[in-house]
Structure 1
Amino acid sequence: MVEVEPYDAVAHTYAELFRDSLRDSPLDRAMLGAFADFVTATGNDRVADLGCGPGHITAHLNGLGLSAFGVDVSPVMIELARQAHPDLRFDVGTMAALDIADGVLGGVLSRWSVIHTPPPEIAVILAEFHRVLAPGGHLLIAFPASEDRSHPTQIYDHSVAPAYRWWPDHLAALLREAGLAEVARTVREPQPTDRRQFQEIQLLARKA
């Protein structure tokens, strides 16, 4: 479970650092655009941005034509999101027990929001993603990759709290066990300017 206090403490700094993060991330913009297209094609444009932080990605999804709302465990993050985007909905909540009805969402976005979830608890989170998605709904999940398949999970020193990297095939298998079939994935190799030198993975999955 994500600890609330560390993210409350860095919320204002985090919001400043990542407010324009998509501007220099064409791959991220492309995957979010593809995700929006897949969701729109289902006829259900309601999307939850889980671990939304200060709400900048929620607003981007809304700009792509989705009916997006955000959920985050940090009350300070949610307050910042509401201030920055007063026309959108943001709720305090935990991914392990979402206050969302069964099968009502066309899409779920989880950008780096599972990184603080201990491996034994990840199945609960993925089951919640599956529960709230409508049949045919899509999940886009982004996370850092472990170094090789012999390390399906690997802890690393995140600046806010201990975090985990995942071998992509391992997490894809866990998604399948939760009823979410992989549709596509992207692998971004570390760049010389990156502070952390590991792959960034985005997996798009569909609820059968």
Structure 2
Amino acid sequence: MRKDLRILVVEADTAKAKNIIDALLEAGWSDVHAIAQVSGLEQSILKHAPDIVLIDMANPDRDTLEHIGVVSDTKSRAVAMFVDQTDQDLTQAALAAGVSAYVVDGLQMNRIKSVIETAIARFQMMRQMQSELEAAKQALEDRKTIDRAKGILMRRRDMSEDAAYKLLRKAAMDQGRKVIDVAQALVTASDLLT
């Protein structure tokens, strides 16, 4: 586990916040900051750029969870939330907000290290899946554009699909560009001419 993580703690109770910070320092993390209210989260994230946000909250509500999802940019950092009680709707809302670890029965100092490790591992897994999904979507969009460019060439030059692709590929190589860039330019030009 990396010890250079920047950690932001959200805890309303000053004594409890101090205990959490002490536990994190004792576990080897030295870049730890705390705020008392979720309302200060956005400003603190801008100031400290944490790798993980730990939120200890007795009774979260849906609005608070949505606020956490928006301001914490859960695509950029792990968020672990400790609550005293929950229900299925709140649990689902927390996951939808991008919370990486949602722990019921509050924050136990002896579990803090394992919760951080779990939150970071889940965050990295979700980020990898999101990245792969975005790459697959982009590949599909690129394929559609290339197919559309091939269709334009096939109609205008009365050529086969294979010959149209070879022409796109040759143009890309001659221009030092990617096939998708040549295809996009052809589609754009065609749209302008029709």
The normalised TM-score by structure 2 is 0.43
More helix by percentage: 2
More strand by percentage: 1
Q: Larger radius of gyration, structure 1 or 2? A: 2
The normalised TM-score by structure 1 is 0.40
